Amino acid sequence: MAIPMKFICDDNLGKLAKWLRTLGYDTLFFDPIQDGELVTRALKEDRVVLSRDTQLSRFKFKLGEDLLHIESDKPLNQLKQVIEYFKLKPNKKLLFSRCSVCNQPLEKLEKDIIKDKIYPYVYKTQDNFVRCPKCDRIYWSATHVEKMTKTLSEHRII
């Protein structure tokens, strides 16, 4: 099986970074970040640079195919461009497997452990909980997940 692609977004592309993480792709994003540092990290960690900033094309000689200039201002169109350009096939099983805020893979949680941390209504109505080991956010399949899934399928991304 091919190793999944990893990305680093420039500091204009925070929303794109969140969408890529939502799809399960390991995606770094720092705001702000110097161009030089971004390129160094990309090379060191074997990441593809996604950039809205044409200035970064001066690093093309270093990055080669691992640099994509993002055309649109709209996050979902940006996501589509990345998926189409690299012929990615997002895996539904990896959807919501990574924290959209800090890029960490999420861990499954037994719901009894978090009973005191969540609203009783959520505890009663939800069964699948995951937690980010870094920021401690707890996620569950509530309506926002359904909404995001709907948005992705409307844009024919999943």
Given the complex with Zn ion, which of 112 and 136 has the nearer CB atom? 136
DSSP characters over 53-88: -GGGGGGHHHHGGGEEE---SSHHHHHHHHHHHTT-
In the complex, least distance from residue 124 CB atom to Zn ion, rounded to whole angstroms:
25
For Zn ion, which is the closer residue by CB, 102 or 142?
A: 102
Choice between 70 and 132, CB closer to Zn ion:
132
Q: Does 28 bind Zn ion (CB under 5 A)?
A: no
Beta-strand pair 27-29/67-69 = unpaired
The position carrying tokens 């893979």 is: 105
**Cβ closer to Zn ion: 88 or 101?**
101
- Residue 64 beta carbon to Zn ion: minimum distance, rounded to whole angstroms: 32
Does the protein bind Zn ion through residue 107 (CB under 5 A)? no
Which residues are CB-contacts of 28 (< 8 A; sequence separation ≥ 6)? 7, 8, 9, 17, 41, 45, 47, 103
Query: 138 forms bridges with which residues in the sheet?
Result: 131
Q: Which among 34-42, 69-77, 81-89, 126-134 is the span making contact with Zn ion, rule CB under 5 A?
A: 126-134
Distance CA(131)–CA(31), nearest Å, equals 24
Stretch that binds Zn ion, among 9-17, 72-80, 84-92, 100-108 (CB under 5 A): 100-108
- Positions touching Zn ion (CB under 5 A) are 99, 101-102, 132, 134-135
